[in-house]
Structure 1
Amino acid sequence: MPFAFRFRALPFIAAVLVAVIAVLLGNWQQGRAAQKAELQARRAARGAEPPLLLGPAIQPAAPLEFRRVRLQGEFRADWPVFLSNRPMNGQSGFILAMPFKIAGGDSHVLVLRGWLPRQAEYGKLPPFSTPAGLVTLEGQVVSGSGRVMELGGEQALQPGALVQNLAPQDLARAAGLAMQPFLVQQLTPAAPGDELARDWPAPEAGIDKHRGYAFQWYALAAMAILFFVITGFRSGRKHIAGKSD
């Protein structure tokens, strides 16, 4: 039986519409992957630069993100805040956050000092020590502490509060402090005996995830066109068979 293709307008329009939408969505996912690859490269490049001394002047976050910085000043030991639901190496625990008064001015920066394990007694906060007086430490500027799902109502932000998410502006309002609009992940001990864990995980870029989604959308576009072609040939064969009968 000879091959015959029967063109039908409605299936053709539907196939083209699905293919175009799928290709556009695939291109969008590819664009997201490219953006995150560029972000990852910028993070690596900035992280390799020598530490920058962070002064008291309030600075925008974007130019400093991922930069290593050196801080001189003193911790505000009267304002510890604990970030909950922050596991490390499979163990549940907290991240200790504390404002750090930068030497030479009145501004502060929110420092993520490190990780502390959860105590066996529920609700009991782990012990920690805070160096007194002028200290020097190094860290990396980050835009946020990494958001987690908020379970139930948040505790009012106050010294010693246990919260799930924290931004510099939250602490600025609660404590009445002038805050830099970014955070610093502490990388080096501020004093002997500082044993907080600082195995900070690298942010997940999700590049492969976006590329995988793009492949799925492109595959859907190809399947829509292929389905139209196959059904066209089948329809054409049935049409010829009907005529021969």
Structure 2
Amino acid sequence: MIKRLQHYWAITVFTLFFLPLTINLGLWQLDRADQKILLQQSLTALEQPIMVPDDQGLILAELQSLQRVTLNSSFIKPFVWFKDNQVVSGKVGYDAIGLIGAGDNLLLVNRGWFASNGQRDPLPEIDWVNGKVSLTGRLVPVQVNPYQLGEDTYSDQYPQLVQEISPAVLTEHLAASIEGTLLPWVLILDTPGDATLTPHWKASAMASEKHMAYAWQWFGLALTLCLLYIYRVFYSPIDTKR
């Protein structure tokens, strides 16, 4: 046996390197599948929208992430930001993000997507929603854009084109013109209404079933590697000409 292991040392090294790698990748995909299952369970549990009274904006700060809520409020002029590089059904466009008052707080509202049609200078115009409207959606924590090419520069000209929404930077920018605490949420509208454009937000781009399928692919590759190694090292004839 030692002679065969010495003869196939290169195959042994290859197997010892890639076998743990494929197993760990399979376990990682299983872990990701569990995370997606828990996320889906959370979405289901928080599906029923909570009605937030007009003067109870403080309630929003106490709610769980991904909770659906319904509230009535008015968009504050002239604040509107277009989030760049949003792709829906293969088309590039913007997400329109406005600002509303919620009691003594301020809340960002993602109205959804609209096609840019390549227009950037000047930016396209969208219809302003006047008066108090009913808004229903999920409270989603603001997430950093990992692909941001550079820092956004906020100005007093609206609409503004941005790559991401940064609550810390935006709070500093808004402090000079409006009072109120900016909540760390974005209310992403998911129900048709006067303010809703094209909803497209998803909690995850990949379902748990796909992670499971990837996991079994990695485990299958690990099993195949083991079987090939066992056959090659212990059962195949040794090539004495090497």
Name the structure 2 match of 1:173: 172
Uncovered stretches (5+) of structure 1, i.e. residues with no partner: none
- Radius of gyration: which is bigger? 1
Residue 33 of structure 2 corresponds to which residue in structure 1? Answer: 33
Matches of 2:238 and 2:51 in 1, distance apart? 75
> Which of the pair is proportionally richer in strand?
2
* Structural mapping, 1:125-164, within 5 Å: 125-144=123-142, 147=145, 149-151=147-149, 153-158=150-155, 159-164=158-163
Q: Deviations over 1:28-83 (max 9, x none)?
A: 22111111122123213322x1433163217558x533322122332221221111
Aligned to 1:228, the other structure's residue is in SS state helix
SS at match of 1:226: helix
Aligned length: 229
Amino acid at match of 2:169: D
Residues 142, 186 of structure 2: 8 Å contact kept = yes
Per the alignment, residue 183 of structure 1 pairs with 186
Flag the 1:59–1:12 CA change in 2: closer, same or farther, 3 A.
same
| Secondary structure in 2 matching 1:76 | strand
Is the 1:101–1:109 contact (alpha carbons within 8 Å) kept by the matching residues of 2?
A: yes
Q: Which amino acid aligns with 1:8?
A: L
Q: What RMSD in Å do the two structures reach over aligned CA positions?
A: 3.4
Conserved 8 A contact 1:59-1:181: no
Deviation at 1:13, TM superposition (A): 7.3
The letter of the residue matching 2:105 is: S
* Aligned-partner SS, 1:125: coil
**1:94-109 matched pairs, under 5 angstroms:** 94-102=94-102, 105-109=103-107
Deviates more, 1:203-212 or 1:89-98: 203-212
Query: 1:115 Cα deviation (Å)?
Result: 2.5
User: Compared with structure 1, are the counterparts of its residues 189 and 14 closer, same or farther at alpha carbon in structure 2 (3 Å cutoff)?
Assistant: closer
Distance 1:85 1:112 in 2: 15
Aligned residue for 1:64, secondary structure, equals coil
Q: 1:238 to 1:91 in 2, by over 3 A?
A: closer
Contact residue 26 and residue 214 of structure 2 kept, 8 A: yes
**Counterpart residue identity of residue 175, structure 1:** L
Secondary structure of the equivalent of 1:40? helix
Q: 1:78-93, aligned counterparts within 5 Å? A: 78-93=78-93
Do 2:70 and 2:134's aligned partners in 1 also have CA atoms closer than 8 Å?
Answer: yes
The CA distance in 2 between the partners of 1:120 and 1:233, in whole Å, is 63
Read off the aligned partner of 1:93 and give its amino acid letter.
G
The aligned residue for residue 122 of structure 2 is 124
What is the CA–CA distance in structure 1 between the aligned matches of 2:201 and 2:221, rounded to whole Å? 35
The SS at the match of 1:84 is strand
Deviation (angstroms), 1:133: 4.3
Matched, 1:112 2:139: no
Mapping of residues 196-215 of structure 1, within 5 Å:
197-203=197-203, 204-215=205-216
Deviation at 1:202, TM superposition (A): 3.0
TM-score by length of 1: 0.75
Post-superposition CA distance 1:101-128 (Å, at most 9, x none): 11xx321111012333325654222222
Verify the 8 A CA contact 1:40 1:205 in the aligned structure 2: no
